[in-house]
Structure 1
């Protein structure tokens, strides 16, 4: 009897266990069921449509030049006119913008000179330009979605990562204006996608599909570095991943001979370094082929380089300068003209300092066109040699020593060891009437012409023909070795008629010391210089031109260390505590302020912090021989998320070492990768990854869906809240503007 009971209870236990197994199995199926392709495609369609809407809506507003459109719109115009210019960035993205201008038949006459210049008045195809950028910005979002799918994440994780960028205000603003950042960010996103796809085929080496994605990774890397030089950080990211993979392949347990390993190394070296570099050089070849006419960038280049360019229409007005020519002299940076008049510096300045109380030398801008300058003898200067054998008709070269005679009053320009009116550390410029050779006043009126352009050693002091409008020079005072300089930071008070101060700058290599001999006033029809003779073009090998330009680009990039009111430090970027004023309309009280979506930025920071905590906890427990994570979870934590985390670090941390101007937009590639990382980590946290657990292994879809919904709702809310200052389409009352002045943000019209 007892044996029968035992058998009955045993059968019940087995049935109960089977029911529990079935229950647990069905629950596990609920968690680990893979998303269908239809679910992925619906998510991809939704985020792509949303990205297109946020970037294309009201893209024609404002119909004026905004922020750095003054640079990149201008460069497109130079491409269309084929006139040579100099810029710090590689040419690919700029060529793409110019190509759009060429497609719509634009002639490039508008030069984007000033922020707020009106596009409509000059019939500029700015909507076509901006649409190209918006298309690139839109493409970033589905590329991110595809990357997350390739990495094996659920449709919800794909949606979360792509929504962080889709509704990020900084990405949206950069994708609606004629800027390079959308192209850079798209190239970064394409690189991450291509390498992720390549990684899925690493078990099929040297197959056709393996080669396709390896080479596409190289193409994407080339596009990154051909857009901006910060793209080298993407190279670092992929480089770390490749070195890690090669290190694993080198292990003898992998079964590869050294010959087979060498094939892997050579394949990656060619596809990720050699091939991208060839593409990089190709864009420079196109750059030089298009820009075959002399232009505003000539002054940066060597005379040998300049001789390889066809003269621009400006060359017709560029004439060799001779001694005893009467000229106007123009400051390169402020475009003010050297001037003097019958008025003296006050004996005592407002701060109590004493002056020489002698004739003023100032700088004035053309208020009524260039004719107002040419017709005023107080802007005329005669170039007088110190060597009596130099007669009229002898050409002036750099390194020559000259005197400048003021035509309006008959005196000679002089600099001496007296403090200037506004800059107490600089020397005063004045006029002397002492013509006695070798007297003190005579010696103080001697100036040496130096070529004011890049170069070092003997190259910067080389002898070169001085031509009007074409040869930038520094006028170095022989006696005290200061450079003639002016500025418009502050103008002279009433006694100086609001003119710009002219003074002696002790920083002789300062680029703002550059002047031009602008126009020869006394040039007559009988002078041979009145006849324009086009110069003969001398070819220069491509690599020689490329090396010269490459050196100058790196040289000037390293010099970008001056202060800027909206520059920021990297420690402020992840939390988006500051921003940049891109555009403001004082008349209608509208503005565009560049800042990130705080919800997305802060969510990323939380995910990065949680990840470091998870790594620390896992390593500590492993030290005590406690293994909590299953193998799949370990792979996700250390391999997939580890790769994305390294990518974020590589695109962010190096900025702490850079001694140059830094802005929030430099963080956007790192933000993009952090968005991929955050979607992956959010899914990881909402999963049961433990080896031994009563709960099934897999993603808790209900918990994860709730998290995605909350984050996305926050993203959309912040996007909408900052909409007026992201698009600049409406004005806000001061109280509404103050509500948006979070953290260190300083907005216009808040009072």
Structure 2
């Protein structure tokens, strides 16, 4: 086909010369015109520091913000030399790692191992008890331990910067989001002590950042960068859940995103099935297997380090305890149980205690002697194995006789001489079960004192002809009532010293581990001592056991009606900054810290949640009316940068609404991060069409307000020295208990 020049009869070469002349370029083949230096300089752009700063903002801005973060988190960090707030807990847990003593806590071990690492690097030997309010000894470099912890809080600031960029916020908003994290007083304060919260926040921030990076790679699936961010996201999920179980909330956010992403791919009929399966396989590997391995590895290190007996032994199985160094469990205990043996019986349920009795009686029901389960080891946990009343009476001089699977026995309380007994009287709390009590003595009693041994398993042998210390798991069935001795997770009222209720459950469920028992310690002079370390407790069994015990204990952290907790607060108070929290004593002679947020950050972020909801309603109404306000790119930005942070806020906040356990203001801090992202999106969206100068002016006002309020309230973060009345001007509301 003839080109346009040919069609019009124009000369193509002449046309090219004309085009170059118009563009100011030399004609092909024409001699180059020599340019003078003056002419050359006149075409160069003049040097401008603003241009350089604009071009290299991605370097200097995060460096500046990070430097400010380290300053705010570390300045005067060692000012208070006393154990402050929960340093009493987590400093003590760090000490257990240094002494390698087994302890029990409701949180996973990663954060506390990092606390122990900070103590190790500080040259601390683990000898300090970390009692609340005590002064740190000179040999303990508590300042270094706090500095180590503050690094996690400081790292959150550059992570906020990069996350806001990945969410496609404009530069002024990126700075605003970063400043809201940098100059958030509560984030600053919580990062300055030996606590887990800065670690939890850090790994929450890394998870959101890795998620945003992975989302930006969706256009190039299966590329090295796509795979890298997927795996880093999995590692971050594993870390955040290994610090506190609150990390499962951000894991749920990633899970919802993954489900939506895969659902969209499932609806893409052009996508080959093998590609869809590969997407699924990569996500299972990256977002399930990797986090689980990280979580599992933290417990592996936990068990590996804590090889000595410690204060948390009773929460674990007897066989686990017997393999700890320095333990008394199973020490010198004969292997096989015989009639006349004096033994303690351990419930094999998660967090189960020892079968226990004492002189106190039930206030209702049979009014007989109480039976409970109790974790503390004392002589009230000791029981004698005796034959049943139809069998030959036990004689201390007789040859050894051994109870075995299917035998009916009696258990006699060593301290009171009474028989373990059950009858058709409702249990005191769990009314559907029968009450278990202590009744009679070695000669007085009836068949309601008889319990039939039913062996479940034995770690040492498949031969159930004898009951073995530590290794034999068995159930005790009441001979008359056919119910099973059980100790669940129900605590008795104060009259039962809030020990675990022990009942006889009517349902026959062999898999109910709370009906499983084993002999933990055993004394019988006629039998040779056994070797308690001959059999190891399987790792996965210990892992599951400890996690269920943690969950059980965490659920038991309910408000005590008999005790007032002045530090506790309710969920509704957090988003509106209704309360703060005193982190230490309030005497004039000590440095005081008050856990309170930046008012603009809190109120602005909370308001943005409602604003974004109104924006969604507005655009839905407009869409229904046929208006095309949003392009596909706008909808995608609104979805992932606006709605997902709101979902993250709900996932981190709503559980505390339904939670029965006692709650404090710091439980809101992960949710606050998502509220900050939501506020950033709202400001960014509403200023996107404004004149550049006006947009910067609005952001500038917000910068000044956030920084100004941080400076105004700086004393509550850096330490209030002297009488608290000096800061009465900061007490905007009576609920802020910072001056009285």
Deviates most, 607-616 or 540-549: 540-549
Matches for 1:79-98 after TM superposition, within 5 Å: 79-98=97-116
Partner of 1:69: 87
Q: 1:709 aligns with which of 704, 708, 726?
A: 704
SS in 1 for 2:219: coil
Mapped contact 2:122–2:145 kept (Cα < 8 A):
no
Deviation at 1:339, TM superposition (A): 12
Deviation at 1:622, TM superposition (A): 2.1
Matches of 2:677 and 2:730 in 1, distance apart? 33
Deviates most, 100-109 or 220-229: 100-109
1:156 aligns with 2:151: no
Q: 1:553 aligns with which of 550, 558, 581?
A: 550
Q: 2:695 aligns with which of 700, 714, 718?
A: 700
Partner of 1:120: 137
1:637 aligns with 2:638: yes
Count of equivalent residues: 649
Deviation at 1:257, TM superposition (A): 1.7
Mapped contact 1:644–1:677 kept (Cα < 8 A):
yes
1:264 aligns with 2:261: no
Structure 1 spans left out of the alignment, 5+ residues: 1-32, 327-337, 341-378, 413-433, 440-445, 449-462, 468-480, 492-499, 510-522, 690-695
SS in 1 for 2:593: strand
Partner of 1:731: 723
Partner of 1:198: 214
Deviation at 1:681, TM superposition (A): 1.8
Matches of 2:307 and 2:57 in 1, distance apart? 53
**RMSD of equivalent CA atoms:** 6.1
1:23-58 per-residue CA deviation (whole Å, 9 max, x = no partner) reads xxxxxxxxxx99934334333233222221222122
Residues 621 and 390 of structure 1: CA distance in aligned 2, closer, same or farther (over 3 Å): farther
Partner of 2:456: none
Mapped contact 2:179–2:703 kept (Cα < 8 A):
no
Matches of 1:60 and 1:293 in 2, distance apart? 32
Deviation at 1:562, TM superposition (A): 3.5
Deviation at 1:111, TM superposition (A): 3.2
Partner of 1:213: 229
Q: 1:54 aligns with which of 59, 68, 72?
A: 72
Deviation at 1:236, TM superposition (A): 1.3
1:241-273 per-residue CA deviation (whole Å, 9 max, x = no partner) reads 2222223333337x3222222222221221111
Partner of 1:312: 326
Deviates most, 269-278 or 310-319: 310-319
Deviation at 1:200, TM superposition (A): 1.9
SS in 2 for 1:95: helix
SS in 2 for 1:229: coil
Partner of 1:454: none
Partner of 2:578: 577
Deviation at 1:64, TM superposition (A): 2.3
SS in 1 for 2:582: strand
Partner of 2:239: 223
Residues 94 and 532 of structure 1: CA distance in aligned 2, closer, same or farther (over 3 Å): farther
SS in 2 for 1:88: coil
SS in 2 for 1:584: coil
Mapped contact 1:65–1:117 kept (Cα < 8 A):
yes
Matches of 1:37 and 1:324 in 2, distance apart? 86
Matches for 1:640-655 after TM superposition, within 5 Å: 640-655=641-656
SS in 2 for 1:237: helix
SS in 1 for 2:584: strand
Matches of 1:256 and 1:160 in 2, distance apart? 40
Mapped contact 2:166–2:213 kept (Cα < 8 A):
yes
Matches for 1:367-446 after TM superposition, within 5 Å: none
Deviation at 1:205, TM superposition (A): 1.3
Partner of 1:135: 151
Mapped contact 1:162–1:675 kept (Cα < 8 A):
no
SS in 1 for 2:594: strand
Matches of 1:685 and 1:465 in 2, distance apart? 73
Matches of 2:222 and 2:608 in 1, distance apart? 37
SS in 2 for 1:591: coil
Mapped contact 1:100–1:132 kept (Cα < 8 A):
yes
Deviation at 1:736, TM superposition (A): 2.5
TM-score (norm 1): 0.67
Partner of 1:627: 628
SS in 2 for 1:259: helix
Mapped contact 1:40–1:155 kept (Cα < 8 A):
no
Matches of 2:621 and 2:181 in 1, distance apart? 34
Partner of 2:253: 237
Deviation at 1:183, TM superposition (A): 1.0
Matches of 2:221 and 2:646 in 1, distance apart? 26
Deviation at 1:139, TM superposition (A): 0.5
Matches of 2:328 and 2:129 in 1, distance apart? 15
Q: 1:36 aligns with which of 51, 54, 60?
A: 54
Matches of 2:69 and 2:467 in 1, distance apart? 54
Matches of 1:269 and 1:89 in 2, distance apart? 25
Residues 501 and 280 of structure 1: CA distance in aligned 2, closer, same or farther (over 3 Å): closer
Deviation at 1:723, TM superposition (A): 4.0
Matches for 1:154-553 after TM superposition, within 5 Å: 154-252=170-268, 255-307=270-322, 309-312=323-326, 535-553=532-550
SS in 2 for 1:70: helix
Partner of 1:100: 118
Deviation at 1:652, TM superposition (A): 1.7
Matches of 1:257 and 1:437 in 2, distance apart? 80
Mapped contact 2:308–2:324 kept (Cα < 8 A):
yes
Matches of 2:709 and 2:467 in 1, distance apart? 63
Matches of 1:244 and 1:96 in 2, distance apart? 35
